[in-house]
A and B are shown apart, each in its own frame.
Chain A
Amino acid sequence: MVVRIEQVTNEITAWLSGELDHHTARVMREQIDAAVGSSSANVLRLDFSGVGFMDSSGIGLVMGRYRLMQSRGGRLLVVGVSERLLRVMRLAGLERLPVWEEKTHKDTKKEAYKK
Chain B
Amino acid sequence: MKKAMNEMKLTFPSRSANEGFARSAVASFLSQLDPAVDELADLRTAVSEAVTNCIVHAYRDTIGTITIQMRLFADGRVVIKIRDRGCGIADVEQAMEPLFTTGGDDRSGLGFSVMESFTDRLRVSSKAGRGTVVTMEKYIAVKERQATLA
Residues of chain A lying within 8 A (CB to CB) of residue B108: 56-57, 59-60, 63, 92
User: Is B121 interfacial (CB-CB < 8 Å)?
Assistant: no
Number of A-B contacts (CB under 8 A): 65
A29 CA to B108 CA in the complex, in Å? 14
Whether A22 and B113, one on each chain, are in contact in the complex, defined by CB atoms closer than 8 angstroms, is no
> Which of B23, B110, B113, B117 is within 8 Å of A53, CB to CB?
B23
Q: Contacts A53-B23, A88-B45, A91-B117 given; indicate if A22 touches B110 (C-beta within 8 A).
A: no
Whether B114 and A23, one on each chain, are in contact in the complex, defined by CB atoms closer than 8 angstroms, is no
Chain A, Cβ-Cβ closest to B103: A60
- Chain B contact residues, majority secondary structure: helix
Q: Contacts A23-B19, A60-B108, A64-B106 given; indicate if A55 touches B114 (C-beta within 8 A).
A: yes
Chain A, Cβ-Cβ closest to B16: A23
- Chain A contact residues, majority secondary structure: helix
Q: Contacts A29-B106, A60-B108 given; indicate if A21 touches B19 (C-beta within 8 A).
A: yes
Q: Contacts A56-B49, A64-B105 given; indicate if A22 touches B19 (C-beta within 8 A).
A: yes
A21 CA to B108 CA in the complex, in Å? 12
Sample of 4 more A-B contacts, CB < 8 Å, known A53-B41, A91-B110: A21-B23, A23-B20, A57-B108, A84-B41
Residues of A within 8 A of B (CB): 19, 21-26, 29, 53-57, 59-61, 63-64, 84, 88, 91-92
